[in-house]
Chain A
Amino acid sequence: MGLSGLDIYKLLPKTNCRECGFATCLAFAMQLAKKAVSIDECPYLSSEAKAKLEAQAQPPIKLITIGQGETRLQVGNENVLFRHEEKFYHPPGIGFILEDNITDSEIKDRVEKINGLKFERIGQALEANLIAIRQNKDAKRFVDVVKIVSSNTLLGLVLMSDDTQGLKYALEVLKGKNPLIYHATKENSAGFAQLAKEYKVPLVAQADELEEASGLTVELAKQGVTDLIIEVSGKPMPERIWDLTQIRRLALKKSNRSLGYPSLVVIDKNDLYEEIQEAATYISKYAGIVLIKNIESWAVLSLLTLRQNIYTDPQKPLQIEPKLYPIGQVTDKSPVLITTNFSLSYYTVLGEVEASKIPSYIISVDTEGMSVLTAWAAEKFTPHKITETVNKFGVKGIVSHKHLVIPGYVAVISGELEDESGFKIIVGPKEAAGLPSFLKNLQYG
């Protein structure tokens, strides 16, 4: 993939003139390889060397932005084929196709529902990203609908139309909003390239085969359009997975520039489950944007949750700040529950405590984001560590009852923890789901 420090060194003047701020050309080359400095620091680079270095400084999959402001979507710039190798960086955009041949009030209604597709899970906001407006009638109707949608949402827009005239009007209306144009093909590439250039917006390059797609992006790049998203359309699921895999592999492993863009998938299924399952498949397998039709909130939540899972950093589990968290109207009689600072553990406990309606304190011990059992096995959730945490947050001065509740899975540490902390230890349920009934029956003996 990228050039090594030595490869770069070969391209430098090798005079060690120090103008870049480094003692030697080699030292500068090493920093360049790490992308820690800019090539502009060396004034003596040949133009040929500069071109080479600039090309390699670009990420293998271009980062493309759609929309603007806080709700903008950025996709691309991925480095790996499997999430365990590093991580997946830019979660795919999930968007909803809106036909322009329904009534204005239906459109407003749907847009409002889409705007409301916002959830929170383990401390992260989960949101849908795009609304794609598909032209079914004349240019005028299309532009009218674009107006209605854009004045009712902050989400990024996708303009699905083959009609350059209609698109031009729509782009005029959406100036500054950076919508995505869908889509350029072999047949219409000149007109679409013109539009993308004139309005400085990203463009989908669509083809029926991978090879054709690669040819099309080369052609569009020649015309000066490189903010592209690739769609290889109309195939059954396993072939689409093959295409998406090839695009990712060729861009990353063979530095194929013509496929170095994010991919888009449109799912055309009427059955809700089929649609959601297919969308989930492409979210797992390299799609940059997935467009669907259903806006059923429970179905969308499941997709957004899957996206969150797949795009979690595998090296760094989601963590929360180790702290004493008061939940509800706590008093000095409220129970004190111990858990880890692994987000999933904490939020699961939190959800059950809230459901129980019994005000409680939750202490999250710093286990470096490990779950209860893993942390216990790795000696990050020891009696000593827990005692330290309990003392640090001054639990003795906050509650009067001198009891701590620990997760059922670490019942074995109760004795030692009791000795070390001076608190009485109550063993809680193994699963957080048992907390509501546990808390209701909790008595300090």
Chain B
Amino acid sequence: MVLQLMTERWTGEVSAVTIGAAAKDGGTRAYSIKIGGEKSLPCLFKEGTLPNKPQVAFEVFDVAPNDWPNEVLKPYGKSVNDPLEWAQMCVQDFKARSLCIRLLGAHPDFGNKSSEEEAQLIKKLLEKVSVPLIILGSGDDAKDNLLLPAISEAAKGECCLIGPAVQDNYKTIVAAALADGHCVIAESPIDVNIAKQLNILISDMGLPLERVVINPTIGALGYGLEYAYSIMERARLAALSGDKTLASPFICFVGQEAWRAKESKIETLPEQGIIWEVLTATALIQAGADLLIMRHPKAIEKVNRYIDNLMTNDRTQSSK
């Protein structure tokens, strides 16, 4: 008896987004990374190509973080006090393929650094490390509307991924990204319709959807993970069925959420925080995550190995 398998034939695909510009593309990065481009659900190679592996970026702050538990600060030692040193450590010691720099120090409550100061920092950072960069504002809308255009200009031509753009504050950042050749993070609060709406607004301004990455806003393992999990599955199914406005890769702030969990802060159980970050990432990869922003080097190492196992163990790839 021959078993008739059931194979989906998808008509749509996720757009492929390139982050980082090397010399040939007018930037100074050593290489660029590509995310997205899926023509199938996670791991289901037999129904369509999954050309790009999920990527993990190390998260670096411009000021020493005030809310990271000890366990995740420890591996970085004193370098958390100096963003340039910290960034270099991620690349040299921990082999980071990309970095996510968060400009928390520009926030009115956390140092209120000026846009010029932060723009200088980004310039120095681009000299210090040659990996592709993801750059986040301070989290204060008013400040970010001044800060992000300055940052965008400082990194002109480097094809960074900058953000966040949200539904009621996206114009300034999208205009800056358009002018300076960057990609944008479109952030929506665990809501497919808002994600879709925001993508439409952004593309109406002329930024092609190949330069947009969706932040679906995740919760950590045990803290609402399942909401983002299902939102991502729904959006990905829509994308594969041909909805272009949801066909963007996902960025997930795994480290930020996982290290806020109560379970990650127990001093006597240092590995619990690591596995919390690892499993949050693992589950989201199964829901379609493309770019994971993480914090603990050991967690990142485990997740990278998992991604390799997922993406290279497939015997059928070659025979196809």
Contacts and interface: CB of A to CB of B under 8 A. Distances in A.
Interface string B281-294: 01100110000000
Contacts of B306: 274, 277
Contacts of B226: 83, 309-310, 312, 314
Contacts of B85: none
B249 to A, nearest CB: 19
A: contact size bracket: 35 or more
Given A215-B1, A236-B314, A237-B313, A246 B6 contact: yes
B315 A242 contact: no
B283 A284 contact: yes
Given A83-B230, A273-B275, A280-B283, A305 B1 contact: no
Given A242-B46, A246-B6, A280 B279 contact: yes
B92 interface: no
Given A274-B305, A302-B276, A306-B283, A84 B222 contact: no
A237 B275 contact: no
Interface stretch (A248-256, A361-369, A386-394): A248-256
A130 interface: no
A297 B97 CA distance: 33
A301 B279 contact: no
A208 interface: no
Closest 8 CB pairs of A and B: A236-B313, A298-B272, A211-B3, A84-B230, A309-B226, A305-B222, A273-B302, A238-B314
Given A238-B43, A238-B313, A274-B305, A301 B223 contact: no
Interface in B215-241: 221-226, 229-230, 233-234, 237
A250 B5 CA distance: 7
Interface string B1-35: 11111100000000000000000000000000000
Contacts of B318: none
Contact of B5 (A246, A371, A373): A246
A314 B279 contact: no
A382 interface: no
B243 interface: no
Interface of B: 1-6, 43-46, 189, 221-226, 229-230, 233-234, 237, 260, 262-263, 269, 271-272, 275-276, 278-279, 282-283, 286-287, 302, 305-306, 309-311, 313-316
Contacts of B316: 239
Contacts of A214: 1, 3
Interface of A: 82-84, 121, 210-211, 214-215, 218, 236-239, 241-242, 245-246, 249-250, 253-254, 273-274, 276-277, 280-281, 284-285, 298-299, 301-303, 305-306, 308-310, 312, 314, 344, 348, 351, 371, 373, 431, 433
Contacts of B3: 210-211, 214, 250
Contact of A236 (B5, B276, B305, B315): B315
Given A277-B282, A309-B229, A310-B226, 18 more contacts: A82-B233, A83-B226, A210-B5, A236-B313, A236-B315, A237-B43, A237-B310, A237-B313, A239-B313, A245-B44, A274-B305, A284-B286, A285-B286, A305-B222, A305-B263, A306-B225, A348-B262, A433-B260
Contacts of A238: 43, 45, 310-311, 313-314
A214 B316 CA distance: 21
* B4, B237, B283, B315: most-surrounded residue (chain A CB, <10 A): B283
